[in-house]
Homo-oligomer: A and B are copies of this chain.
Amino acid sequence: MNHDEMMTLALDEARRALEHNDVPVGALCVIDDRVLASRHNEKELRKDATCHAEILAIRDALSMIGDKYLTGVTVYTTLEPCVMCAGALVTVRCERVVFGAFDPKSGAASSLYNLCCDPRLNAEVAVVAGVQQEACSRILKEFFATKR
**Contact at A68–B93, with CB atoms within 8 Å?**
no
Oligomer: number of copies: 2
Question: A43 on the interface (CB 8 Å rule)?
Answer: yes
Q: Do the beta carbons of B82 and A91 come within 8 Å of each other? A: yes
CB < 8 Å neighbour of A88 from B50, B58, B69: B50
State the Cβ distance, A77 to closest chain B Cβ, in Å: 15
Interface, chain A (partner B; CB < 8 A): 43-44, 46-50, 52, 55, 58-59, 62-63, 66-69, 82-88, 90-93, 105-106, 108, 112-113, 115, 118, 120-122
A-B contacts, 12 listed (Cβ < 8 Å): A47-B66, A47-B68, A49-B69, A50-B55, A50-B91, A82-B87, A82-B91, A84-B84, A84-B91, A87-B87, A106-B120, A113-B113
